[in-house]
Structure formats: structure tokens, C-alpha cells
A and B are shown apart, each in its own frame.
Chain A
Amino acid sequence: MENTVQLEEQFNAKLDKGEFIEPKDWMPEKYRKTLIRQISQHAHSEIIGMQPEGNWITRAPSLRRKAVLLAKVQDEAGHGLYLYSAAETMGISRDELLDQLHTGKAKYSSIFNYQTLTWADMGAVGWLVDGAAIINQVMLQRTSYGPYSRAMVRICKEESFHQRQGYEIMCALAAGTPEQKAMAQDALNRWWWPTLMMFGPKDSESKNSTDSIRWKIKRETNDELRQKFIDRTVAQAEHLGLVIPDPELKWNEERGHYDSGEINWEEFWNVVEGRGPCNHIRLKVRVAAHENGAWVREAANAYAAKKAKREAGSLVA
């Protein structure tokens, strides 16, 4: 028993010195559990996040836009794989992780339960959703768990093109015909609030936040990150000549930040609890993709087994 106390002291001392925790290091069970949950949720979000944009690949308005969107969606698949690998270093298997996603036991970011109705949504998702994700991910580059931190460094390098390509789409639409500009405004109207919800519940209501900050898994709180996103995005919307759908949005000289209206928390909890516009279909598509890929995995297994046998045979001969 006293051994655990000692180990926990050493663990905390390491964190205080700003050192990273590596897979074989001793760690409190709750640190492990929290991280497995967070990293796997993050991985699932990248994988489910391929769907709302994948939806538009065949209908992209030009070959350039199509190639770009395809590359972006491929990146998101890669992000999911980096993160599954990081989660696996904590002793959970890939099978268990996928199972948790497919049975609905694990959560993923609620933002992907919204529909992408028009091409302008590809602009708004890249600009706002990837923009919000980047703010969170830049912070996570300094998270205390080594493999998670290293995955985030890779991901951040790849993310900046995601946000730029989205903003470029918005620029093109905003400078286009009145109908195109209206389409861009409509996308902003629909994505603004769900994007703000990506940062999670208010600090006063976030039950996981204190441990995460203490263990340096997170370095900034939900509200701080959300504020940072708003402060950065307002000027970008102004440049587009688009209006952020929040009548209470106003610069506060004293705070040096924008004040903003209240998020519809009822909608937030509804989507988190599975009653969003696309929760059902996202999971259905994901499970179908996995099941339809079973024959490929089986064929790869059979081929690997056949080759292993042949190699073993030639060794004997």
C-alpha cells in the first residue's frame, strides 16, 4: 500500500518537473482510464468525422476542390490511426476500441452528428470545425502522456491546410453571386453554435476538467479555449462580410475579449446523449463499413498465412 503512495508521489513529482509520462511508467489507474477515454474518443471523432465531408467528395465543384477534399478526409483517417495507436500503448486493444465505437459505448465529438447540407458546409466545416479542433490540439501537443503528445504534434502539422482550404471555400462563395454568399451565410448560421459546443460543457459544469488540469492532460479549460476560438474567428468572419449569428457578440474592452451569448445547452446534451440529427446514421454507416470490409481482412489473413507457410517450407527444403 505505502508503495502506491510512494509511486504516486514520484508520478506527481515528474509532472511538476514538466516531464512526460511514458507507456511503461507507473501511473494512477484513474489517469490511465481518463486518457484511454479521451484518446479513444478523439480517435473515434477523426474516423466518424470523415463522413460529413466524405458525403461531398463526389459532388465537389471542381477537380481541384475534389482532390483537396479527398486529401483532407484521408488525413482524418490517418489522425484516427495515430490516435488508436497512442491509446493502445495504455494496454487496450484495437479490437476493444472499435467495439466500443460500434456498440455505441464510446462517444465521439457531437459536431459530426450534424448534417452537411450544401457545398458551403465544406467551407464552414474546414474553417470552423477544424479551426476549433486546432485550438484544442495545439494545447494537447503539450499533454503529459508522451505517445498522445507525439500524435498531436503530427496531427497539428497536418491540420493547418484543413482550416485554410475551408476558409478559401468561404472566401470564394462570399465573393460570388448573391445566392452563393447567402449559401455561405447559411452555413455559418448552422455551424457557429455547434462549433462552440465542441469545447464541451462550461467549466463550472465539467466533471472531468479538474483532474485533467491537475494531471496536465489539458493545460487550458473548456471556457478558455472557447474564448480563444471566438476571439480569433470574429475578424475572419468580418473579412468574409458574413455575420456571426449571435446578437450578443460584442468586444469587451475591459476584458480584452469578445462577450458572447449563451449556448443552447439543452441542444448540446441532446446531441451528446444520442438525439442529434445524425447520431443514428453515422454509427450505422461506420458499422456497415467495418462489416463490409471483413472479407478484405480475411483475405489478407489467408494470404499472410499462406506466405508464412511457404517461407517456412522453403527454410526446411
Chain B
Amino acid sequence: MSTTDNQWPLWEVFVQAKTGTPHKHCGSVHAPDKEMALQNARDLYTRRSEGTSIWVVPATAITASSPEDIGPFFEPSNDKPYRHPTFYVTPEGIKYL
């Protein structure tokens, strides 16, 4: 990589559309530091006032589950249907349950 390398670190961008809602992943930007990452993200992902708040996270800081392990990884919840309200029988006519 030369000194004119324009790659720069990759930052994942999360935008909150309006207050009270979660930040949602919307893409990524390259930037040399966090301030510029934030500015690039603003220019790129909120040109039409799509956001009230932006997070930028270095892509290298994200740890993700891997698709190969998807079965065993999420398995523990598969045999616990009693975590869902539909698992339970309620007497007829009983409301607000």
C-alpha cells in the first residue's frame, strides 16, 4: 500500500430515523478517523433528513455469528416453545391475559 492509498478504514453506519426508534444499519463509509466517518456518513446517508442520530462503528470492531454455525448456535431456543404466549391454554371467556 502506497502513501496515497485511498482505502482508509471501513466504518459501519447506523442511522436512527426518529427519536424513540432503534438505530438501523444502513451501509458503510471509508474514512481516516471517526469525525470524518461521521461527516461522510451524514453526507451519504442523510441527504434527505433521514436521521436524527448517526453511529459509526469501525467494521473491525464488529463480531458476528457465522452462518455455518447457525443451527447449533441458535438451537438452545428451539426446544423452548414455552417462551411464547401461544404455548399456554387459557380458559374460555377470560380476558386481558
- Measuring CB to CB, which residues of chain A are less than 8 angstroms from any residue of chain B? 22, 24-26, 74-75, 78, 81-82, 85, 88, 93-95, 98, 150-151, 154, 158, 290, 294, 297-298, 300-301, 303-304, 307-308
Q: How many whole Å from B78's CB to the nearest CB in chain A?
A: 19
The 9 closest A-B pairs by CB, nearest first: A304-B32, A304-B33, A300-B32, A85-B28, A95-B7, A25-B67, A297-B6, A294-B4, A24-B67
B67 in contact with A78 (CB, 8 Å): no
11 pairs of residues in contact across A and B, judged by CB atoms under 8 Å: A26-B67, A75-B47, A81-B44, A94-B6, A95-B6, A95-B7, A98-B6, A300-B8, A301-B8, A304-B33, A304-B36
Residues of chain B in range 1-41 having any CB-CB distance to chain A below 8 Å: 1, 3-8, 10, 26-30, 32-33, 36
Cβ–Cβ < 8 Å partners of A290 in chain B: 6
Inter-chain pairs besides A154-B26, A303-B33, A304-B36, 11 sampled, C-beta below 8 Å: A22-B67, A26-B68, A85-B28, A95-B1, A95-B6, A154-B27, A290-B6, A294-B6, A297-B4, A304-B32, A307-B33
The contact string, 1 if C-beta is below 8 Å from chain A, for chain B 44-87, is: 10011000000000000000101110000000000000000000
Cβ–Cβ < 8 Å partners of B30 in chain A: 94
Q: How many whole Å from A69's CB to the nearest CB in chain B?
A: 15
| Interface of A, helix, strand, loop or mixed by DSSP | helix
Q: Complex Cα distance A5/B53, Å?
A: 45
Q: How many whole Å from A309's CB to the nearest CB in chain B?
A: 12
**Across the two chains, which residue of chain A brings its CB closest to B5?**
A95
- Measuring CB to CB, which residues of chain B are less than 8 angstroms from any residue of chain A? 1, 3-8, 10, 26-30, 32-33, 36, 44, 47-48, 64, 66-68
Cβ–Cβ < 8 Å partners of B10 in chain A: 88
Cβ–Cβ < 8 Å partners of B44 in chain A: 78, 81-82
How many contacts between A and B, using CB within 8 angstroms? 57
Q: How many whole Å from A27's CB to the nearest CB in chain B?
A: 11
Cβ–Cβ < 8 Å partners of A304 in chain B: 32-33, 36
Q: Complex Cα distance A98/B26, Å?
A: 22
Cβ–Cβ < 8 Å partners of B3 in chain A: 298, 301
With A151-B27, A300-B36, A303-B32 known as contacts, the answer to whether A93 contacts B7 (CB < 8 A) is: yes
**Across the two chains, which residue of chain B brings its CB closest to A151?**
B27
Q: Complex Cα distance A26/B64, Å?
A: 15
Cβ–Cβ < 8 Å partners of A93 in chain B: 7
Q: How many whole Å from A78's CB to the nearest CB in chain B?
A: 6
Q: Complex Cα distance A85/B64, Å?
A: 18
Q: Complex Cα distance A294/B32, Å?
A: 14
Cβ–Cβ < 8 Å partners of B36 in chain A: 300, 304
Q: Complex Cα distance A74/B27, Å?
A: 17
Q: How many whole Å from B44's CB to the nearest CB in chain A?
A: 6
Cβ–Cβ < 8 Å partners of A307 in chain B: 33
Q: Complex Cα distance A174/B36, Å?
A: 45
Q: Complex Cα distance A78/B42, Å?
A: 11
Cβ–Cβ < 8 Å partners of A85 in chain B: 27-29
Q: Complex Cα distance A304/B7, Å?
A: 14
With A24-B64, A95-B6 known as contacts, the answer to whether A308 contacts B33 (CB < 8 A) is: yes
B7 in contact with A94 (CB, 8 Å): yes
Q: Complex Cα distance A142/B1, Å?
A: 37
**Across the two chains, which residue of chain B brings its CB closest to A81?**
B44
Cβ–Cβ < 8 Å partners of A22 in chain B: 67
Cβ–Cβ < 8 Å partners of B32 in chain A: 300-301, 303-304
